[in-house]
Amino acid sequence: MNKHSYKKKAWISGLVIFLVIIAIIYFNRSYAYIYDHIDKMALKSPDRNHSFLVVNNKTASSSLTYVALGDSLTAGVGTDKYSDSYPYLLAQYFAGNNYQIDLEDRAVPGVKTEELLNGLVPAAIKDQPDIVTLLIGVNDVHGMIDRKDFRKNYETILQMLTKETKAKIYVINIPLIGASNLVTPPYNLIFDYRTQQYNKIIKELADKYSVNYIDLYTPTKDLLRSNGPHYASDFFHPSKLGYKIWADLIYADTSQ
């Protein structure tokens, strides 16, 4: 190898190493930015108890118990009032003019399927619900939880709910949340792929256990890619408007 060829090879090798380092830095910083921004905004759950009585008609004599299981999305993070959360809006829809709804909020921000299974599902069963909605998995997706573990946890949740309650169960698939100014490439693609894979698992298990499957991912995917009034200030959790959109879509499926 002559001197010129050696210098050329060394230059190319150096360039490749430099580009790899830049790529690693970008991947790390773009991933960290997502959670740094969410943490910086520090959105809290709206003030709430775990139990609410939702009545549209004070003369309604029949009652139903509705349990909402989930994480921060079900706890209403992103709104100032729990009455703007999608479970509360659903409770109003379920109540109509004929029922009073005892809404039991079983949601804790940050939980994954494993924590939901071990802590919140037993509490939900004790509530003796007539209706259950289950929206869980966003933290599993972002926490890079193995799909096998996710399937195992989700299936156990459905086993417990179907065997130990008489509730009508609605499983809501995982929406693709995170505006494009927060979740940048390649993580927008990575999270989208993982969300779709987890949703396939949810659909398979919903069919296996004969529970109602609600597709929230498809009708909101394009909307949730962009920032707008449907997002709270962290560009991750929905705003009052965002939860209203969700509630309308979910209820449309429950009414079919």
Beta carbons within 8 Å of 44's beta carbon, 6+ residues apart: 77
pLDDT of residue 6: 58
What digits encode the pLDDT tens for the residues 176-190? 999 999 999 999 999
> Token match 């759950």: residue?
45
How far is it, in rounded angstroms, from Cα 130 to Cα 195? 29
pLDDT of residue 156: 98
**Are residues 125 and 160 in contact, defined by beta-carbon separation less than 8 angstroms?**
yes
pLDDT of residue 184: 92
Percent of the chain with pLDDT over 70: 89
Lowest mean pLDDT segment, chosen from 60-64, 242-246, 249-253: 60-64
**Which pTM was predicted?**
0.91
Inform me whether the pLDDT recorded for 251 exceeds 90: yes
What digits encode the pLDDT tens for the residues 31-42? 778 889 899 999
Inform me whether the pLDDT recorded for 137 exceeds 90: yes
CA distances from 79 to 136, 139, 174, 223 (A): 19, 19, 19, 18
What digits encode the pLDDT tens for the residues 1-38? 555 665 666 666 665 665 556 556 666 777 778 889 89
What digits encode the pLDDT tens for the residues 90-105? 999 999 999 999 999 9
For the beta sheet containing 51-55, the strands, ordered from the edge strand earlier in sequence to the opposite edge, are 51-55, 99-107, 62-70, 131-135, 168-172, 212-214
Percent of the chain with pLDDT over 90: 78
What digits encode the pLDDT tens for the residues 36-69? 989 999 999 998 778 888 888 888 889 999 999 9
pLDDT of residue 167: 98
